Structure 1
């Protein structure tokens, strides 16, 4: 989720500080909420949510998920890579 649309303004570190890289749906208390989810699984999950909540069909939901593989979480150089 784009950070500007995150209702909580981003995820949180263990000390409660805001994490500017991850949204509150993915990151809380210094850890990923779903630590073992793959990039492919995350894309499928987001597409499903887009359909369930907003009735956005799969072919249009790609506009909402295309950046997921580019996130630091799934980048091999990311310190919290998955």
Structure 2
């Protein structure tokens, strides 16, 4: 059984977390749609895509993280990105247990994204 939950946070961004009955690391956060490789937001269509310096859409980053070929917040650290996501969750009206779970899983998702891989 596969459950997918969406939650909204900071600037209408959202995090999709798939809870699988059999946890496979590669499947846990990888869905068939594109995700921003900085914040993890699903990129549903071109209106959510960031832009390259030449004006073309970025295939990797959302409009909130990447514009005109540069990160919107180039000095942003991994820990700061985690805090942005967690603060957004604090403002969400979901049940406390769900909120706790998403706060715990968010850093795991971020670690797998291009911007944060080291």
Residues 27-50 of structure 1 show CA distances to partners (whole Å, capped at 9, x for unaligned) of 111000110111111011111123
The separation in 2 between residues aligned to 1:63 and 1:15, in whole angstroms, is 37
Give matches, 1:12-23, under 5 Å: 12-23=51-62
Structure scoring higher RCO (CA < 8 A, sep ≥ 6) equals: 2
| CA positional deviation for 1:74 | 1.3
Match of 2:78 among 39, 42, 48: 39
The structure whose residues are more often strand, as a share, is 2
C-alpha contact (below 8 Å) 1:9/1:18 kept by paired residues: no
| CA positional deviation for 1:72 | 0.5
Q: Secondary structure at the match of 1:20?
A: strand
Q: Secondary structure at the match of 1:22?
A: strand
The structure whose residues are more often helix, as a share, is 1
4+ residue segments displaced more than 6 Å? none
Question: Are 1:61 and 2:99 matched, yes or no?
Answer: no
RMSD: 2.3
Larger Rg: 2
Q: Secondary structure at the match of 1:41?
A: helix
The separation in 2 between residues aligned to 1:42 and 1:27, in whole angstroms, is 14
Gaps of 5+ in 2: 1-40
TM-score of the superposed pair, with normalisation by structure 2: 0.53
TM-score of the superposed pair, with normalisation by structure 1: 0.72
